[in-house]
A and B are shown apart, each in its own frame.
Chain A
Amino acid sequence: MEMVNIKINGMPLSVPNGITILEAARYAGIEIPTLCYLKDINEIGACRICMVEVKGARSLVTACVYPVNEGMEVFTNTEKVRQSRKTTLELILSTHRKDCLSCIRSGNCELQKLCKEFGVDDEHAFDGEMPAFEFDDSAAHMVRDNSKCILCRRCVAACNEQKVSVIGANARGFDTHISSAFDKDLADVSCISCGQCIVNCPTGAIYEKDDTKAVFAAINDPEKFVIVNTAPSIRVTLGEAFGMSIGSNVTGKMVAALRRLGFDKVFDTDFAADLTIMEEAYELLDRIKNGGTLPMITSCSPGWIKYCEHYYPDQLNHLSTCKSPQQMFGAITKTWYAQKMGIDPKDIVVVGIMPCTAKKFETKRDHQSASGYPDVDYALTTRELARMIDTAGIYFNHLPDEEFDNPLGESTGAAVIFGATGGVMEAALRTAVEVLTGEELQSLDFTEVRGQGIKEASYNVAGLDVKVAVASGAAAAHEIMEKVKNGTADYQFIEIMGCPGGCVNGGGQPIQHAVVHNFVDLKGRRAAALYEADKNLPKRKSHESEAVKKVYAEFLGEPNSHKAHEVLHTSYVKRPKYK
């Protein structure tokens, strides 16, 4: 690598040629503030917060896109730089609805943080005309409030990165605003509800629809038996909301917090993930043996499902008919568990804690009410749970570790890894191989399907060649689906997740500032914690879950039985791309 010699604030430094001033400054331990910059996907130099002085340059330059060269002298902390950043912030504030006290991002807002850091002392410095703001709460899962938008376009970049591209910058000058084509409501365009725009927004302009009040009300209602279940990835991300390092496994504290919030039972979505594997593995074997539609594609991710329905409506028969673990959990709870406990399903409220905003949409889908009542009543994001814990005054970091309730709190390592891309595939392989061969697996780690990007692998399972593929993020899904569509996908089984990296990077996860997205392997560190959890569990194969065995013995019979189909399977609908 060619190196160049530069000076940052007088400090001599040797850095790779061609990197930006922003990146070079990190070698010197200096963080240059950014707002619009997202590494690789939004390098537009638009917000002007990262301005620095370069000796010999006519004016300040944008550090996020300006490459270093030999002999360059950069100054990141001069009076001119500080004044420029402060003025930029004041100008942004001139069209910003400044109700920080009640803003959902108060305390975690990148704009607020910068205003504090650069000593903005008059938020009304440039008050004047305000643009006409729209407020779009048409979608099931989120709200767009342009009065908080700073036009950084990070949401647009995230949406483009997903190859969904339903939001963008429209009009020009003072009228520039982020919206959908023809300024249609989000509910009327082909948004897949993934929430990647939310986790990339620096301010409170985009956020999930809040269901915490309704959940508190259910808990307070003596008539209601309120059951919570937590998705696999929540246990390794919730800690971030309380200042813990990325990748902290807080399973025990999470359970303790949920119990203190007053839920009647604290169960684990992982139980249903194991159940999903049973149904999905048997469905796959059935399709292979009986000439069903192949490749079969996983159906756990409602963002992916909605993507498929909008963009590949003619390929829906490739989707596994299995409900997602969240919905299977609700279905079993309101049928088998309700019967067992003698509780009327109408009095049961099922709350899922999900890494996902599309899960909110999923709860309202058709054919998701096995008991006659909706399988799941509320899907809360990790962030909403964190807010409930804060509201309740629970000192999360000091909680003791507690265990899930039984029987729906039992699960295996195969379920835990559902939260990372490749996890469902690996879990399914562990079960499919043992079921087909009748022999115990030597190694449970199918490492070929782990990690980022599209992965392919072939396995010989009891004389049967099974070729699999794994993709995460809608753009990768697009790449695979083009092959499926034109008949060149020679796989039997494909796992697709709607968000890049899978659920650990879901749109409902704790929001990390851009600096983390840009310079930390967020997906990787969260996923590593899940694989570590899997490794340390006594049982690591879904078919070994006692709870799952019991549900089949007492209620469902065999996997893919008629009863299982009634309770655990669903259907899909073609959705238009344009309305």
Chain B
Amino acid sequence: MLKKISKSPFKGTPEQEAQLKAIIEENKHDSSMLMHVMQQAQAIYGYLPFEVQVMIAEGMDIPLEKVYGVSTFYAQFSLSPKGKYNIAVCLGTACYVKGSQALLDELSKQLGIGPGECTEDGQFSLEATRCIGACGLAPVLNVNEDVYGKLVPDQIAGIIEKYKNA
């Protein structure tokens, strides 16, 4: 699936930038460390927006397009920030046959975002995952570390409500 590029403004702090620059400095002479630097950058910022990828490209002397190519190839990299609450809907085989696509569709409708995107207020992000190993609870979703199983779409509104007021 094509990754969604976040349109919300970049909110990096000087501390984050200093952290990333230190990692780039350590690795800038070895282009094979690109993946490592990108993983560290994602750990710092939560995602890899344009501004962060430019810092990596310039710092490592690697074309921005190559950095972007890597970031769109591997599933581990995100181009959208994670919300305060990341909702991960399992689309593994068991959950899928039990109707998890309908859960995802309902979430998309209520939050106004697609998978891989984050709400403008930064509260919620939505993600479709592979099997998370909780097939007995299918269909299942996670909100950060909380697990919700055996769901039907009608329960979605209540779950969102719970975190909105949290």
A interface residues, Cβ below 8 angstroms from B? 132, 160, 165-172, 175, 180-183, 189, 578
Which residues of chain B are within 8 angstroms of A175 by Cβ–Cβ distance? 1-2
Alpha-carbon separation in the docked complex, A181 to B69 (Å) = 7
B69 to chain A, nearest CB (A): 5
A172-B73, A578-B54 as given contacts; A181 in contact with B68, CB under 8 Å = yes
B53 to chain A, nearest CB (A): 7
B63 touches A170 (CB 8 A): no
A170-B72, A172-B73 as given contacts; A181 in contact with B2, CB under 8 Å = no
A180 touches B2 (CB 8 A): no
A181-B53, A182-B50, A578-B54 as given contacts; A171 in contact with B2, CB under 8 Å = yes
A182-B50, A578-B54 as given contacts; A171 in contact with B63, CB under 8 Å = no
Which residues of chain A are within 8 angstroms of B1 by Cβ–Cβ distance? 175
A182 touches B5 (CB 8 A): yes
B98 at the interface (CB under 8 A from A): no
B interface residues, Cβ below 8 angstroms from A? 1-3, 5, 50, 53-54, 63-69, 72-73
B68 to chain A, nearest CB (A): 4
Q: Considering only CB atoms, which chain B residue lies closest to A166 in the complex?
A: B65
Alpha-carbon separation in the docked complex, A190 to B37 (Å) = 24
Interface of A (DSSP majority class): mixed
B2 to chain A, nearest CB (A): 5
Interface-central residue, A165, A180, A181, A189, by most chain B CB under 10 Å: A181
Q: Considering only CB atoms, which chain A residue lies closest to B51 in the complex?
A: A578
A183-B5, A578-B54 as given contacts; A171 in contact with B72, CB under 8 Å = yes
A165 touches B66 (CB 8 A): yes
Q: Considering only CB atoms, which chain B residue lies closest to A579 in the complex?
A: B50
A171 to chain B, nearest CB (A): 5
Q: A170-B65, A578-B54 are in contact. List 7 more A-B contacts (CB 8 A).
A: A132-B2, A165-B63, A168-B65, A168-B66, A168-B68, A172-B73, A182-B5
Alpha-carbon separation in the docked complex, A189 to B66 (Å) = 14
A537 to chain B, nearest CB (A): 43
Alpha-carbon separation in the docked complex, A172 to B2 (Å) = 8
- Name 21 interchain pairs, CB-CB below 8 A, sorted by A: A132-B2, A160-B63, A165-B63, A166-B65, A168-B63, A168-B68, A168-B69, A169-B69, A171-B2, A172-B73, A175-B2, A181-B53, A181-B64, A181-B65, A181-B67, A181-B68, A182-B50, A182-B68, A183-B5, A189-B65, A578-B64
Alpha-carbon separation in the docked complex, A337 to B72 (Å) = 55
B45 to chain A, nearest CB (A): 16
A140 to chain B, nearest CB (A): 20
Q: Considering only CB atoms, which chain B residue lies closest to A190 in the complex?
A: B64
A172 touches B72 (CB 8 A): yes
Alpha-carbon separation in the docked complex, A286 to B160 (Å) = 74
Which residues of chain A are within 8 angstroms of B73 by Cβ–Cβ distance? 170-172
Which residues of chain A are within 8 angstroms of B50 by Cβ–Cβ distance? 182, 578
Q: Considering only CB atoms, which chain A residue lies closest to B63 in the complex?
A: A165
Which residues of chain A are within 8 angstroms of B2 by Cβ–Cβ distance? 132, 171, 175
Pick the contact of B63: A166, A169, A182, A183 (CB < 8 A). A166
B5 to chain A, nearest CB (A): 6
Alpha-carbon separation in the docked complex, A189 to B1 (Å) = 24
A160 to chain B, nearest CB (A): 8
Alpha-carbon separation in the docked complex, A180 to B54 (Å) = 13
Q: Considering only CB atoms, which chain A residue lies closest to B79 in the complex?
A: A182
Alpha-carbon separation in the docked complex, A132 to B1 (Å) = 11
Alpha-carbon separation in the docked complex, A175 to B75 (Å) = 13
Which residues of chain A are within 8 angstroms of B64 by Cβ–Cβ distance? 181, 578
Alpha-carbon separation in the docked complex, A181 to B58 (Å) = 14
A170 touches B69 (CB 8 A): yes
Which residues of chain B are within 8 angstroms of A180 by Cβ–Cβ distance? 65
Alpha-carbon separation in the docked complex, A171 to B67 (Å) = 12
Alpha-carbon separation in the docked complex, A175 to B4 (Å) = 13
Pick the contact of B65: A132, A165, A171 (CB < 8 A). A165
